[in-house]
Amino acid sequence: MKLNSRIQRLQNAQTTIITYAVEVLPSEINLQTQNAIINYFGARGCQGWWKQATLGFEVGGVVSSQCVSNKDSNLPNSIQATADEVPPKPTQCDDGQTDFKVYSKGFKYGEIKDATTAELKYLLTRVGPVSGQIEYYRDTERITYERGIFIGWEGNEWIIAKQYIDQSGTYHVTSYSEQRIPIVHPEGGTSSKTTGSVFYYDCRNPAADTPSIVCPCPTDLYSLAADPRIGTICQADCSKKQIDTPEDICPCPDKKDKVAWGADPRTADKTGICSAEPIRVVLSVVAAVLAIPFLVILF
């Protein structure tokens, strides 16, 4: 029951992707090919390419359906559309007063094809839920298939969220329920392949506000120096500094503090980062190099 209620809440938030995601995109997106520049989206709105939603999700994140509603959408080709152009990006909720909160900003959209059982398990543990279709095989013969959102596994079964659509009303209502399906088909199955899509954080390039619970802070101080979250979400642990730890990450100790000076590996010899002598040498070399062009001009 907990899974079902959580998935229903996620679905409520997801419905806003279509409206908000399209509105948050730049007014013009061009694709540079070898021979020409073409319009990436030939049409916008309800009859546009579905990748409007995925790209808009990457650019702008998700806004709650309690803030921005699809039912009042004015996207081109919607039921209540009054214009052929996409409305401007909203800055407030539909009530015109409440500032909205953006969720899941920084996620990327990716696709997988013909993933094996081992590869799908790897993706689930490293990336997160995968929405897609699993095809069961008996050697090279395709037996059958199942669709759903793969969220984990237990024993010899995948745990999936199965989609159901109620089309009885004016608007289709989508809901999900937990199901278990076999990893290998019980009727002589030998293998399976899964094709689908996934939303994920690219932790190779975190944003300044990417939570550490999503992308852990680097433990290596050099990697931390390049992380935009340093000093805010990610703090340097200078008790683990090495001989090459930059001074702008972990300041050098005061020479008067003999205990701290002796404990810092960067003070071990005169060529260390915390030694004042190399700085003078480097500056003199730079000064000499800079002086050469002026000497050439003058003489």
| 261 residue type, one letter | W
Q: Which two tokens stand for residue 52?
A: 């409007």
Lowest-confidence region among 80-84, 150-154, 209-213: 80-84
pLDDT band at 248 (very low <50, low <70, confident <90, very high): confident
User: What's residue 148's pLDDT?
Assistant: 95
Which residue range forms the structural domain that includes residue 137?
107-201
Mean pLDDT in residue range 25-53: 80
Do 96 and 115 belong to one domain?
no
User: What's residue 1's pLDDT?
Assistant: 34
pLDDT band at 77 (very low <50, low <70, confident <90, very high): low
Do 114 and 94 belong to one domain?
no
- Which residue, of 87, 103, 119, is where some domain finishes? 103
Q: CA distances (Å), 153 to each of 37, 135, 161, 164, 249, in order?
A: 45, 16, 12, 21, 42
- Which residue, of 55, 84, 103, is where some domain finishes? 103
Strands 130-138 and 37-39: unpaired
Do 14 and 94 belong to one domain?
yes
Mean pLDDT in residue range 109-123: 95
Query: Does some domain include residue 16?
Result: yes
Query: Does some domain include residue 37?
Result: yes
Question: How many CB atoms are located within 10 Å of the residue 267 CB?
Answer: 18
Count of domains for the chain: 2
Do 97 and 6 belong to one domain?
yes
Model pTM above 0.75 = no
